[in-house]
Amino acid sequence: VTERVVVIGGDAAGGSAVSQVKRARGDEVDVVMVERGRWTSYSACGIPYWIAGDVDGPQALVARSPQVHRANGIDVLVGTEAVEVDLDCAVVDVRGPDGQTDELGFDQLMIATGATPVRPDIPGIDAQGIFGIQTLADGASVVDALSEQRPLVNAVVVGGGYIGIEMAEAMLRRGLNVTVLDQAPEPMPTLDPDMGRLVREAMNGMGIDVQRAQVEGFEADASGRVRAVLADGQEHEVDIVILGLGVRPESSLAQSAGLCLGESGGIRTDERMMVEDSAVFAAGDCVESFDRVSKSWVHVALGTHANKQGRVAGINLAGGQATFPGIVRTAVSKVCDLEIARTGLREVDARQAGLDCEVVTIESSTRAGYFPGSTPMTVKMLAAAGSGRMLGAQIIGREGAAKRVDVCAMALWTEMTVYELMQTDLSYAPPFSPVWDPVQVAARVLSAKLAER
């Protein structure tokens, strides 16, 4: 009989893996991909832009549909949930769209079950009109809600992280009054608070009301539809609520199969994306990644990691050799025209870890100061006091600001000092950069500060 590879989860990681396996081994293997939802290989990151109206969803967000995967020779089971994995017997129990259960034997297994949005257990959370943003079905629900005859006036976004700010933009652009509630002092908790403050001020300037508040519950009207958010004793009237409280690794299936989880709750794998102490592969939002800067395991749910990890898992599943060398926690987002990026450690992380470091925050511009379209940008950067090694950077600005974080990510990746970063040969011409790139201005000022110690 032909060898069978079963992949649980059909989004970025699973989809990348099955493509690799099929490409490498063709008809030598049966590849079965089990997907709970209707769609495969889609861009969850695109959902806020679909809701905002930038993108025609959901089809545009689907990179490879089940049909495309099938045309590539993958056996795709949609609407099918993997309910149990028996590693000893090498069997996955699945429940299909009409509720029937089945046993799926495997020679090789990969788990790519993704992540689940955090949904706090507070009164009224199950009222209609409260939406998480995770799957294309979630996106469709919000688009439907916004298309109802009853006009929606007030939106509350709970949580000021990536999904929170992106959905705040989406709601604003759909014409709603938008309030973002977050229990942290400033939005964007993956930034230092001083940079988060800049985000809050900019969002307030866009007409988004960002408030520090702890959400205590939701009130519904007689029809069961959310009508108010209760937060810090205040009542916010709402027509729609978006939950943007982050995600947790969806690792329960792996856990009940006895597979190794890390402290973050994500599945712990080695560099080959093989789960520790097993022959199972795992990749994507359900696994932990190794943070090369803090030398610790962290859960970072990002499509780009899922794609890279899925590719690595797929190559190894097919008998090849590939490794995923970890991450440096680079992330980028925007709210309207405000671009936000970060990589490495924040100042709060470095202080908490007891690292002796220097920190600077500089103002520069995206282009030569005299060039049309040049806009101010802020770079915060930190470096280790002894070695001068760059530890992290955060960038806030307008068009052209955020992608510069990639240079900082490369510096972190290679453990470069800020002295060296300042001297690297980055591209310069007036339409693209000041004569010192803003990242190098930060590195230069930081170098001077380190030299003064």
When asked if residue 368 is in the footprint of a second copy (CB under 8 A), the reply is: yes
When asked if residue 18 is in the footprint of a second copy (CB under 8 A), the reply is: no
Q: 34 near 94, Cβ under 8 Å? A: yes
Site string for a second copy, 276-315 (x = CB under 8 A): --------------------------xxxx-xx-------
| All residues at 6 or more sequence positions from 241 whose CB lies less than 8 Å from its CB, including other chains | 129, 130, 131, 155, 156, 157, 158, 218, 226, 229
Residue nearer to a second copy on the CB measure, 117 or 400: 400
**Near a second copy in 140-179, by CB under 8 A:** 162
Residue nearer to a second copy on the CB measure, 66 or 438: 438
Other Cβ atoms less than 10 A from the Cβ of 170: the count is: 28
User: Looking at 45, 87, 90, 355, which residue binds a second copy (CB under 8 A)?
Assistant: 45
User: Looking at 73, 371, 376, 385, which residue binds a second copy (CB under 8 A)?
Assistant: 371
Instruction: Give the three-class secondary structure for 147.
Output: coil
Distance CA 182, CA 431 (A): 38
Q: 110 near 17, Cβ under 8 Å? A: yes
Q: 194 near 216, Cβ under 8 Å? A: no
Residue 260 bears catalytic tag? no
User: Looking at 198, 285, 324, 357, which residue binds a second copy (CB under 8 A)?
Assistant: 324
Residue nearer to a second copy on the CB measure, 129 or 310: 310
> CB of 197: closest distance to a second copy in angstroms?
22
User: Looking at 400, 441, 442, 450, which residue binds a second copy (CB under 8 A)?
Assistant: 400
Size of the chain, expressed as the number of residues it contains: 453
When asked if residue 435 is in the footprint of a second copy (CB under 8 A), the reply is: yes
Q: Which stretch binds a second copy (CB under 8 A): 183-191, 236-244, 276-284, 421-429?
A: 421-429
When asked if residue 382 is in the footprint of a second copy (CB under 8 A), the reply is: no
Return the DSSP state at 32. E
Laid out side by side, the sheet with 390-397 consists of: 331-335, 338-344, 390-397, 376-384, 357-365
Using CB atoms within 10 A of its CB, is residue 99 exposed (0-12), middle (13-18) or buried (19+)? exposed
Distance CA 129, CA 218 (A): 11
User: Looking at 205, 207, 224, 431, which residue binds a second copy (CB under 8 A)?
Assistant: 431
When asked if residue 341 is in the footprint of a second copy (CB under 8 A), the reply is: yes
Tokens of 5: 């590879």
When asked if residue 410 is in the footprint of a second copy (CB under 8 A), the reply is: yes
User: Looking at 98, 144, 370, 452, which residue binds a second copy (CB under 8 A)?
Assistant: 370
Contacts by 138-143, CB closer than 8 A, 24 or more apart: 138/47, 139/47, 139/50, 139/51, 139/57, 139/58, 139/61, 140/57, 140/58, 142/51, 142/240, 142/242, 143/50, 143/51, 143/57
CA angle 196-197-199, nearest 5°?
Answer: 65
When asked if residue 333 is in the footprint of a second copy (CB under 8 A), the reply is: yes
When asked if residue 416 is in the footprint of a second copy (CB under 8 A), the reply is: yes
Question: With CB under 8 A, what is the number of residues at the site for a second copy?
Answer: 63
Q: Which stretch binds a second copy (CB under 8 A): 31-39, 220-228, 351-359, 365-373?
A: 365-373
Catalytic residue set: 45
Q: List residues near a second copy by CB under 8 A.
A: 12, 43, 45-46, 49, 54-55, 60-61, 162, 302-305, 307-308, 324-334, 339, 341, 343, 368, 370-372, 400, 402-407, 409-411, 413-414, 416, 420, 422-433, 435-437
